[in-house]
Structure 1
Amino acid sequence: MALTMLPLLALSALFVYPNIASTTPPDTNFTCSADSPRSCQTYLTYRARPPYANLGNISDMFGISRLSIAQANNLTSENERLLYDQLLLIPVKCSCNENSYFANVTHSIKKGDSFYVVATSVFQNLTNYHAVEDMNPSLNPTNLTVGEPVVFPLLCKCPALFRNQDKYLITYVWQPKDEILQVSSMFNTSSYDIVNENSFRNFTAAVCLPVLIPVSKLPIFPPPGFKSRRSKKGQITFIVLGTFGSFFLFVLSWFLIYKYRSHKTKIILARKESSPFEFTDFLYTKKALKHEANVPAKNSQDKLLAGVSGYLSKPIVYNRNEIMEAKSKPHEFSKTNGNYAENGSLDKWLFPRPLSCSSSGSSVHVSLSWAQRLNLALDIANGLHYMHEHSQPSIAHRDLRTSNILLDSKFKAKIGNFSAARPAISSIMLKVDVFAFGVILLELLSGKKAMETRDEGEICMAWKEIRKIIDVEDKREESLRLWMDPNLGGFYAIDAALNMAVLARACTSEKSADRPGMTEIVFNLSVFAQASSEMYERSWTCSDYICKLLLLYLANVVLVYDPPTCMTRLFR
């Protein structure tokens, strides 16, 4: 029986092992390739601990000068006293050794030393004993001679040539109580950059291991215990200030209430002296309010106009049904405040709902032409340009989508729904609008929603699709034609479509700093529209009464194009 189970166990191991291997968490990558920089000046972090608790011992251990350490850490003197566990930046030269980056430091073996002891205690896990063994193949790790020089390869890395924003990659040993936000604040960098640079590794499993911290400039570390020495004094100060502040707010509130009541009493007395009718009316109001308090809340809310009553200082009572009837039947003096969007929102034209089963067989689907789509994009861009560049302060819409773009009778686009709009306190808020505008451009080009779920459950994103098309030069135009809205019927210049796609690609860049501003976008769209208009005038001539119709028969489909109205109709 045991023998018969062996083949099954072997097969199960074959299937289970790849799954286990595929879930191995990633580690920090210290490797280098042929395209990587061969060497660079970078920094390691080191904590001042006995016997290496002063600049002299630390500089001798790393084989560098005290002055270089003092300058890197903004110390006032080479003899400045260091606090216990004070974090220091150690300047080193990082070089690519075969396929890994190392900063080689020579250390003389002392009594009781081993590769593991020196790597973990002296160099504080900036390297590991496996790398030390590989770097010193001629030495016997179990039989080291006192005074024998050993090369310890400290882990480091040079930033890639194309990463201009990261000037240094600092090697830092993750501590047991470290957290991403705390470390990012200490190094004055972003949490995402740290996680991304370390291959999205599990930092809980990275305790006492070296990781990479990308920075654009060198940080200045506060001395350890800075908070602890002043925490007690700070707590006492906070309690005293909080007590006095609360007392001051209480006195101020009491004084304001007293002044308000005194002012209200003076107004009542003045009314009484000036007009007996007004004073009687006030008394009636007070009585009415008391009477309303005895009425159930539901009935009171149905009949009392709170806003008007508060303004007139007396209850104004109407029936709710009467108010609704008056609103639904406006008289001849009522007027609508605002532009009326006769053609509804843009999404109704780009993503029409499928016809129901009860509709007739000969249905007509009206699609936007290329010229219309280009003009709509320019209208939206002009609106955003005004909000971003010409309003004070700049306004970020924050909810730009096709359902919030309204079309009038002449298919002029208007930006609507400003419920989420806010003053732009940073340029990133404006760049979010630029990304949303790029998404609308993609929907105008493709005739599809920017995010769709396919049959197999995969989420399709238009801005990722256009990157694949634009970034691959081989057969770019053919790929773009297949991706474009088929309802256009090919009635567009492929160069103009490609220019629009490149602009949409720039607007939807992952980094907000790479996205263009609305001034640049409006200029480009104006050039595209002018070029398209000139090409259109050369291609079509039309009188005021007779228009040329282009009929295209494809599988019982008739595509009718009307130049003056710029309308494309599909008849089935």
Structure 2
Amino acid sequence: MSPSNLHYFLSVTTIIFAGFLFDFSIESTLMYPLGCSSKIPSCNSYLYHISNGLSIEEMANFYSVNASQIQSITHDAKLDYLVSVPCTCKDVNGTLGYFYDTLYTVKPGDTYAGVSGEFYSGQAWMIAAEEQLFVAGDMITIHLVCGCLEVENQEAVTYTVQDRDTLSQIAELLSANLSEIEKLNGNLTQNPNFIDIGWVLFVPIGKRKIQAPKAGKRHNLPIIIGTSLVVTLLSMSMLVLFLIRRNRNHRKNRDLEAVNKSPSAKKSSSQNQLLQDKYMEGVASIESERHVTYSLEEINEATNNFDESRKIGQGGYGTVYIGVLKEQEVAIKKMKFSQSKEFFAELKVLCKIHHINVLELLGYARGDNHLYLIYEYMQNGSLNDHLHDPVLKGHSPLSWTARANVAVDAARGIEYIHDHTKARYVHRDIKTSNILLDQRLGAKVADFGLARLVERSNKEDVVATCLVGTPGYIAPECARELQMTSKTDVFAFGVVLAELVTGQRALIRDNQEPNEMKSLVSVIYTIFQVTDKQGALEANIDGNLRGSCPMEEVYKMAELSRQCLSEDPMNRPEMREVVQKLSQILTSSIEWEASLRGNSRVFSRMLKGR
């Protein structure tokens, strides 16, 4: 990779989506913007919106279009939608392609990937720094990928692959030609028999009557929609009457009668039934001997009905609350039913993994249109909280020995899922906020919602939806070659080691360009490129460590971080090698600490972070 390309990768243009999943059943997003044609600067195109309960008016607001530009389409007995938008060739932070821009007002707790998944079917094009600049109250531009085609009488649909989709089914759904879909998406359809949930495809279709509005033209689509709605409402009314009569004749329970009398409840009932069927199907496929199924009543009692005061965390996958179940403190993750993909991904992995350095799953539950995962509670929160502004978050800065111990614990957890389980797993979202600390600052790896199974073989590279995770932790081959291997976790762990040494975040503001972000990876690269490496490291070491750490061991950890961050995955160590080297660093650090017990000032400083 050339220096310019490396800078491109390390700065703000790494593209990732933490798969949304975030708010519906897509597990992760992989997309390539459609390249511009000099012949077509702009056109009309369609965005395929996967239904998640939004009304047409709400969709129109999120997409900044008129309701007349939205048309329903049936997918597996549910209504999805085609949104007609004007598509334009433009440069989005160095990426030239076709995009449609809309505006979104950020709400508290929003994440960029979560918003993309919930409101835009995972079709938003994200730059690495955007998540860090996602501030509540701001109005931001969402860049949605779209397409213009040179073939006359054809338009492009931006389509996000759903559960059980195949290319032939997508072609049938949109009345498209299978070979044309394969040709237009060559990067993703090298093996036409394999597509994954969350991949974003461009589907060429014949021009439709629905169009984005142009000056001086009117359309009769509102009449068509109005007629369709009348017919639909009449059909629903007849169905409701039939159900009510059948309900009375058979004297069914009052809950069902109440559902039949409520149109809105009836609508959500059919959707929820599909989700609940998938839940039961998924749970039945999981072999578990140690985990407990809890009732909704138990979960509500444990969290005082999910009182806000019990909230201890929130992210793209759900909200976490502290609770007490059977006299044990637990952490309960509350997820929407539409997030069943992440729910089962984590459930299936943690039901098979039991290790002292992997967060333990205690049980699960469902109810009230939500899914719940119950974990052991980690009293000291995440490593991220202890490294970045720890005092503001009520923590003392970690001592060097405590950091070395955390590094060993986390490395052992990752090594376990790579080498010591029956099936090899890749975590895909290793970062400091997914390393949790117990009361004694012992570390455990958490959040397996993106974990994927890979084969144990000499050639374990998997071409998959690799562009997931968190900005600043993504390995270069994920964006460049779509590889997903255990070495992608090693790269991310190298960033964690860099954070332990420097105290800096994975993405930091560039002092020379205040409006841009730079990667901590680039800082580590720079340290080991200069002649005075030791001096460069000392200039970047965490200020809380200066004067109270063994610089020789700090240098060794920084050097190990650099090895993990090698651009070529083949040059990165395996996690078992990382564990061995960190164990040696920890042993030497403990010996160094013991030798200083005569110096009460230094030793007392270290003890505060233990």
Both structures adopt the same fold (TM-score exceeding 0.5): no
**TM-score category of the 2 structures, normalised to the smaller one:** 0.3 to 0.5
Structure label with greater radius of gyration: 1
Q: Taking CA–CA contacts closer than 8 Å with sequence separation of 6 or more, which of the two structures ends up with the larger relative contact order?
A: 2
TM-score (norm 1): 0.40
